[in-house]
Amino acid sequence: MQAKDFWKKAYPVIILTAVVAISVTALTYTDRFTRGEIEAQMEAETEAMLSEMFPEMSRYEFANDIYTIYSDGERLGYAFIATGKGYGGNIDILVGLENKDTIKDITIISNEETPGLGTRITEPSFTNQFKGLNIGKVALREEGGEVDAITGSTISSAAVIDAVRKAAQEKVSLIEEGQDG
């Protein structure tokens, strides 16, 4: 009688444990089988984005979160990913630098902004403003910079601008440090 009681109580625990064990196994194996492909996928994506920004790129090096872009041994510029806090979530931006002072171009990699409003930060009419811009001038026009915010999407625009400026300043000092040492 007592043994029967025990099994009655233990049964739900055993089943739940079994389900969790199966789930963990399934997740581990899926992760193992897909990891390589996912990494290759992401690398191909990065390379495609970089070569779109630097069409003459022949290869790139990645160190300290900075991509250094080369064309036949000649250095074309740098690129890195900046993250801004937008209206709906994080905004990831690929920023290309021509040299230590000038921005080559920016590409919005991902954003969770309001469709139709904040998502307009991905449009060329906004991102083209950054082309050839001095890092010191990356700020809203009202704040002494040379970038116009999108009407109705001031928060998203400012998030991109601030993220690009901050990341650019930080990475440039890292690049300079690397060259001195």
Partner 1 sequence: MAKFGKEFAKGIIISNPVFVLALGLCPALAISNSIDNALGMTLAVLIVLLGANVIISLIRRFVPDITRIPIFIVIIATLVTVVNLIFHARFPDLYESLGIYLPLVVVNCIILGRAEAFASKNPIINSIADALGITTGFMTALLMISFLRQMLGTGSMEVFGIHFFDLPVLKDHPIVMFILPPGAFLIIGLLMALFRRTGVLK
Residues that bind partner 1 (CB under 8 A): 11-13, 15-16, 19-20, 23, 26-27, 30-31, 33-34, 37-38, 41, 45, 112, 114-117, 152
In the complex, the smallest distance separating the C-beta of residue 19 from partner 1, rounded to whole angstroms, is 5
Contact 117, 152 (CB under 8 A): yes
In the complex, the smallest distance separating the C-beta of residue 86 from partner 1, rounded to whole angstroms, is 14
- For 51-171, list the strands marked E by DSSP: 59-63, 66-71, 74-85, 90-97, 103-110
By beta-carbon proximity to partner 1, the closer residue of 20 and 75 is 20
In the complex, the smallest distance separating the C-beta of residue 175 from partner 1, rounded to whole angstroms, is 31
Alpha carbons 71 and 54: distance in angstroms, whole number: 9
Alpha carbons 130 and 124: distance in angstroms, whole number: 10
The residues, any chain, with a CB within 8 Å of residue 162's CB and separated by 6 or more, are 84
In the complex, the smallest distance separating the C-beta of residue 166 from partner 1, rounded to whole angstroms, is 25
In a 3-state reduction of DSSP, which class is residue 150? coil
By beta-carbon proximity to partner 1, the closer residue of 104 and 120 is 120
By beta-carbon proximity to partner 1, the closer residue of 11 and 62 is 11
By beta-carbon proximity to partner 1, the closer residue of 26 and 123 is 26
DSSP label of 140: B
